[in-house]
């Protein structure tokens, strides 16, 4: 006997699951803030970072602006000033506080921002439970985008806290989480892929960001890819061989950045004689040579690749390798609560999959053939940044696990280092 499924009941279950995911995500952000002291919520160490209080307000503003205002009848904004204070870069929505000034506003108070979060949470849940039809489909779609947006900000929050803490002479620790005691990564091996025509981009039915589509065909030249990321120990060899003193290894703009910023090692590293130390979210520690090197810019990754007589992969090569290999995940995600990359110690014959560090590619961040941004103001989410940036693939030790997929396209400027970025090499 065939059991008939009540479509209304199925719809209600989908809404219930969405509400649970929404609440779990909102709760996780607050949990990540729990180790912070009150003064930490206002710190903004560089123009690229944001105060934790701003992250709490902005992620709430996103739900209010793109879900409640257009779809909740009679909804009144919690505070009209929040549209200016917590808008990030949406020009079509209205004016916004310049990013470098986010730490200059002491009001609203932290308590007020937390009340704002609770108020919007209640309104979003009420809306999801009270509507149906095509409007519900659109609201669910936007809610999923908002959830994934907040998960991205969970990673940004930890990146920013690490930067904020690093400038303090007290070397404060965000967490006491243990680091791996392993000192050696799996032996480096090269995995071969022949030239082929591959389908690149997202082609499944679940959630993805608009920049992962449309799926399309690309010719992927033959290559050999390293079975793991470059380690701290290997990067130290580059440093000791004068890697930061040899302009022939560097792109012209990269050499200028190195000189201007006095780079001599990855971000957060210090050298004392023959020893290297780095600042982590659990405080200052001696560099573990077996861990993946992290917090390097594209320029540093490219210079290292030249020194190693290798290249950085194109994003199509990277995606092809991850989709068509014996994959062993050797990284860790935000959910591990350690917020520092593990030593990759899998088998030589398998590629250590995404996790631990984002991996620079040689591909500029540009639209796929046939790309169309989301309609309306949400079209500013990704498409407007497709210039002067580079694609990173994979995930990191502060990435929520649901954001690790072979088609995920992260992107940063060539000189950015505060994200958890590392290196995987290829050879022709």
Which range (261-265, 324-328, 396-400, 415-419) has the least confidence?
324-328
Q: Which pLDDT score is estimated for 3?
A: 35
Quick one: average pLDDT of 43-60? 97
pLDDT of residue 24: 98
pLDDT value of residue 395:
94
CB atoms within 10 A of CB 206: 8
pLDDT of residue 9: 45
The C-alpha R_g of the chain, in whole angstroms, comes to 22
Residue 408 has a pLDDT of 96
The structure's pTM equals 0.95
What are 266-322's pLDDT values in tens digits?
999 999 999 999 999 999 999 999 999 999 999 999 999 999 999 999 999 999 999
Mean pLDDT of 191-195: 95
pLDDT of 91 higher than 50: yes
Domains of the chain: 7-166 (1.20.120), 190-427 (3.90.1580.10)
pLDDT at 7 over 70: no
Nearest-5° Cα angle at 53, 48 to 58: 75
Nearest Cα to Cα of residue 396 among 412, 364, 419, 367 = 419
- Of 332 and 16, the one with more pLDDT: 16
Note the pLDDT of residue 2.
Answer: 32
Please check the confidence at residue 327 and state whether its pLDDT lies above 70.
Answer: no
pLDDT of residue 324: 87
pLDDT digits 0-9 by tens, 17-35: 999 999 999 999 999 999 9
Residue 11 — pLDDT band, cuts 50, 70, 90? low
**Structure tokens, 288:** 């573990």
Q: In the chain, what percentage of residues exceed pLDDT 70?
A: 93
| Average pLDDT of the residues of the chain | 93
pLDDT-based confidence at 178, cuts 50/70/90?
low
Task: Kindly state the tokens that stand for 284.
Answer: 């200052």
Strand ranges of the sheet holding 275-280, from the earlier edge strand across to the other edge:
269-272, 275-280, 283-286
> What pLDDT does 325 receive?
79
Is the predicted pLDDT of residue 355 greater than 90, yes or no?
Answer: no
Average pLDDT on 84-103 reads: 96
- Residue 6 scores a pLDDT above 60: no
Enumerate the β-bridge partners of residue 191.
Answer: 225
Q: What percent of the chain has pLDDT over 90?
A: 85
Contacts of residue 264, defined as CB under 8 A and 6 or more positions apart, other chains included, come to: 239, 244, 271
The four Cα atoms 81, 83, 87, 92 give a dihedral, to 10 degrees, of -140
Task: Give the integer Cα–Cα distance in Å for 93 and 95.
Answer: 7
Q: Which long-range contacts (CB under 8 A, 24 or more apart) does 368-375 make?
A: 368/200, 368/201, 368/211, 368/213, 368/214, 368/216, 369/214, 369/216, 370/214, 370/216, 371/210, 371/211, 371/213, 371/214, 372/210, 373/210, 374/210
pLDDT of residue 345: 79
Residue 260 binned pLDDT confidence (cut-offs 50, 70, 90): very high
Give the Cα separation of 390 and 311 in Å (integer): 15
Model pLDDT, residue 57: 98
Higher pLDDT, 134 or 182: 134
Give the pLDDT score at 5.
34
User: How far apart (Å, rounded) are the C-alpha atoms in residues 215 and 199?
Assistant: 6
> What integer pLDDT is reported at residue 1 of this predicted model?
30
Q: What is the pLDDT of residue 132?
A: 84
Partner residues linked to 219 by β-bridges: 197
């Amino acid at each position: 006997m065939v059991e008939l499924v009540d479509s209304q009941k199925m719809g209600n279950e989908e809404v219930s699951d969405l509400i649970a995911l929404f609440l779990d995500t909102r709760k996780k952000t607050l949990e990540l803030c729990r180790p912070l002291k009150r003064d930490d919520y206002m710190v903004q160490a560089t123009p690229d970072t944001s105060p934790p209080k701003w992250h709490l307000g902005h992620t709430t503003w996103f739900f209010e602006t793109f879900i409640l205002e257009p779809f909740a009848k009679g909804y009144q904004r919690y505070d009209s000033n929040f549209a200016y204070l917590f808008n990030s870069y949406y020009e079509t929505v209205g004016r916004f506080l310049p990013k470098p000034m986010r730490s200059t506003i002491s009001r609203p108070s932290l308590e007020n921002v937390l009340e704002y979060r609770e108020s919007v949470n209640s309104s979003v849940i009420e809306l999801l439970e009270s509507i149906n039809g095509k409007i519900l489909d659109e609201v669910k779609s936007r809610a999923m985008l908002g959830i994934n947006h907040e998960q991205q900000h969970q990673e940004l929050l930890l990146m920013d806290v690490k930067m904020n803490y690093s400038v303090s002479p007290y070397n404060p620790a965000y967490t006491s989480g243990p680091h791996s005691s392993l000192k050696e990564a799996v032996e480096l091996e090269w995995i071969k892929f022949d030239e082929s025509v591959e389908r690149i981009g997202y082609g499944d039915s679940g959630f993805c960001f608009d920049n992962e589509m449309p799926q399309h065909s690309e010719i992927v030249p033959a290559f050999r890819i390293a079975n793991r990321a470059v380690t701290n120990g290997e990067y130290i060899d580059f440093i000791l061989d004068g890697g930061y003193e040899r302009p022939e290894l560097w792109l012209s703009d990269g050499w200028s950045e190195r000189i201007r910023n006095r780079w001599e090692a990855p971000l957060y590293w210090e050298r004392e004689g023959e020893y290297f130390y780095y600042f982590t979210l659990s405080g200052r520690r001696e560099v573990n040579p077996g861990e993946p090197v992290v917090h390097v810019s594209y320029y540093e990754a490219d210079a290292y690749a030249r020194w190693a007589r290798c290249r950085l992969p194109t994003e199509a090569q990277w995606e092809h390798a991850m989709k068509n290999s014996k994959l062993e995940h050797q990284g860790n995600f935000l959910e591990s609560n350690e917020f520092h990359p593990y030593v990759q110690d899998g088998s030589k014959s398998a590629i250590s999959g995404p996790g631990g560090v984002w991996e620079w590619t040689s591909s500029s961040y540009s639209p796929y053939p046939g790309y169309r941004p989301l309609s309306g103001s949400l079209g500013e989410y990704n498409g407007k940044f497709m210039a002067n940036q580079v694609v990173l693939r994979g995930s990191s030790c502060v990435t929520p696990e649901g954001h690790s997929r072979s088609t995920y396209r992260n992107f940063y400027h060539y000189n950015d280092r505060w994200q958890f970025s590392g290196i995987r090499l290829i050879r022709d």
